[in-house]
């Protein structure tokens, strides 16, 4: 694992992985969409059940992205490895996007099902906080000129913010929420029919693979930018 902490080796590995991950994501999107539009409407939710196939994967990916960002931040903070800081920084805009998609699609599902675009319940509020954590992290990085200092300060923010992940996960158990309780990844098995589970899990994999494809590309971009900046500095005025 440490072998790939070297940027040159990382670029070699990443360049080999990206086309496969991208292709797998595209194929899974095609299968997931096909399955998602073939299933019958739910007896309660009607056609809006199809929103679940994009809302839940976006929310899961957003949380996974924050977990990866926090883990990379911890590695950067403890071992002071620039590649870990780069990985954490590269995950933030992607995480912010997936969180925003989770919020918007959730709202578009909530309006016809709950009669409200938004409610301040535990799940929705903690998930909105996730978006603010991502945006705050990005703003903080851009506000500090010294990259080493920016990486350290942002790593602390990412680690403190990681407390929000279990809050999001267990909010539906801890508080009475309008958002439904855990119905998929729960003890005793999922509560929803397997007819809906297949398109949901296929789309979740597609979103996950897409996240990794874009994350690796963004890390590659940052490595190349740093090399270009170092080359410019070496040239001198």
Partner 1 sequence: MNGGDYGFYVWTAYGVSFAGLAAAIVLTVLGRMRAAKALEKLK
**Phi and psi at residue 115, to the nearest 5°:** 85, 15
Nearer to partner 1, 40 or 181 (CB): 40
Nearer to partner 1, 77 or 204 (CB): 204
Nearer to partner 1, 133 or 214 (CB): 214
Q: Shortest Cβ distance from residue 220 to partner 1 (Å)?
A: 6
Q: Shortest Cβ distance from residue 189 to partner 1 (Å)?
A: 27
- CA separation, residue 85 to residues 82, 103, 188 (Å): 5, 27, 39
Q: Shortest Cβ distance from residue 127 to partner 1 (Å)?
A: 16
Q: Shortest Cβ distance from residue 59 to partner 1 (Å)?
A: 12
Query: Are 68 and 84 in contact, with CB atoms under 8 Å apart?
Result: no
Query: Are 27 and 176 in contact, with CB atoms under 8 Å apart?
Result: no
Q: Which residues bind partner 1 (CB under 8 A)?
A: 37, 41, 46-48, 50-51, 54-55, 58, 94, 97, 100-101, 104-105, 108-109, 111-112, 210, 214, 217-218, 220-222, 224-225, 227-228, 231-232, 235
Q: d(Cα 216, Cα 17) in Å, to the nearest integer?
A: 9
Nearer to partner 1, 37 or 132 (CB): 37
| β-bridge partners, 46 | 42
Cβ-based neighbour number of residue 144 at 10 Å: 14
């Amino acid at each position: 694992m440490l072998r790939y902490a070297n940027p040159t080796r990382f670029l070699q590995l990443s360049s080999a992985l990206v086309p496969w991950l991208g292709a797998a994501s595209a194929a899974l999107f095609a299968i997931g969409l096909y399955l998602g539009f073939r299933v019958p409407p739910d007896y309660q939710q009607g056609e809006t059940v199809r929103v679940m196939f994009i809302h839940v994967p976006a929310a899961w990916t957003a949380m996974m992205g924050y977990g990866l960002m926090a883990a990379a931040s911890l590695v950067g903070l403890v071992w002071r490895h620039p590649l870990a800081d780069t990985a954490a920084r590269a995950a933030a805009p992607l995480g912010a996007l997936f969180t925003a998609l989770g919020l918007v699609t959730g709202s578009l599902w909530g309006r016809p099902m709950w009669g409200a675009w938004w409610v301040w319940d535990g799940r929705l509020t903690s998930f909105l906080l996730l978006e603010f954590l991502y945006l705050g992290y990005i703003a903080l990085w851009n506000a500090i000129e010294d990259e080493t200092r920016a990486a350290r300060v942002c790593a602390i923010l990412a680690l403190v913010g990681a407390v929000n992940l279990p809050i999001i996960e267990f909010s539906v158990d801890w508080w009475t929420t309008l958002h439904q309780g855990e119905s998929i990844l729960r003890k005793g098995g999922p509560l929803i029919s397997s007819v809906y589970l297949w398109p949901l899990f296929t789309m979740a994999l597609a979103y996950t693979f897409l996240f990794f494809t874009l994350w690796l590309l963004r890390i590659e971009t940052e490595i190349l930018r740093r090399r270009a900046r170092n080359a410019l500095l070496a040239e001198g005025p």
